[in-house]
Amino acid sequence: MSETSERIGAACPSCSPDEATAHEVLKPGGQATVRCTACGHVHKTTIERVREVERDVVVSQGGDSFTSSVEAPAEETIEVGEEFVLDTPEAIMLVRITGLELGPEKRVESARIEDVDTIWTRAVDNVSVSVTIHPTDGNRDRSRTVDLQVPGDYEFTVGETESFGDERFTIEGLHVRDDAVGYRFDKFDHEGDMVFAKDVKRVYARDETSDAWSVW
């Protein structure tokens, strides 16, 4: 078998008439000649071709953005909050849909791909998370904010102490992004509550640095 041979799923009249099995395409066409990889039976079958369309994809990454494109089945329905792998000239990345533009100033939460002009997304495989750190004396005027670069699936949990370089803090609250799905609330402050980094809008924490806020 050639390494470039196409494979499809199809019912085999010999060994699997009711369920699709893997077949090698021997001769393409309207009535393609195929061979079942399970039993070797050669027969003809109709190959349904899925119509695909190319759409622009705007990717937001950190404070920057760039435009790429994706090919996908025209009839497929996509919606805000879904994630997909985007292959760009620079890198292969995981992105989350943040908006679907059907036309000038017309955005929707879900639509068929063929009806969409532009897919707006945010890179979520590696993300920047803002952490507001409060001093131990409770003086919020002396709070500071740091930005952390972490994998999108990194887990931030209320009550846990984190260390990043010179920073050490205990998480007191988590604010969830608007495009995150699967969370019951948009804010969490109970011990054990967990939010993935790609879903975090902001982390609120108490400083645990040994010399934090020292007057010396």
- In DSSP notation, 146-197 reads EEEEEETTPEEETT-EEEETTEEEEEEEEEE-TT--S-S-SEE-STT-EEEG
Give the global pTM.
0.71
What pLDDT digit, counting tens, does each position of 170-188 carry? 999 999 998 898 899 999 9
Q: Is pLDDT of 210 > 80?
A: no
Q: Kindly report the number of other CB atoms within 10 A of residue 208's CB atom.
A: 15
Q: Is pLDDT of 205 > 80?
A: yes
Predicted pLDDT at 93: 94
What pLDDT digit, counting tens, does each position of 127-145 carry? 999 999 999 876 777 899 9
CA 65 – CA 93 distance, rounded (Å)? 13
CA nearest to 49, candidates 69, 30, 33, 24:
30
Q: Is pLDDT of 73 > 80?
A: yes
CA 20 – CA 71 distance, rounded (Å)? 25
Strand partners, 163: 168
Pair 129, 147: CB distance under 8 Å: yes
In angstroms, the Cα distances linking 129 to 37, 46, 86 are: 49, 50, 22
CA 78 – CA 82 distance, rounded (Å)? 7
Ranges 16-25, 44-53, 180-189: which has the least confidence: 44-53
Tokens coding 112: 């068929």
CA nearest to 142, candidates 188, 200, 206, 210:
206
CATH of 52-124, one of 2.40.240, 2.60.40, 3.90.550, 3.40.50: 2.40.240
Which residue is associated with the tokens 């952390």?
A: 148
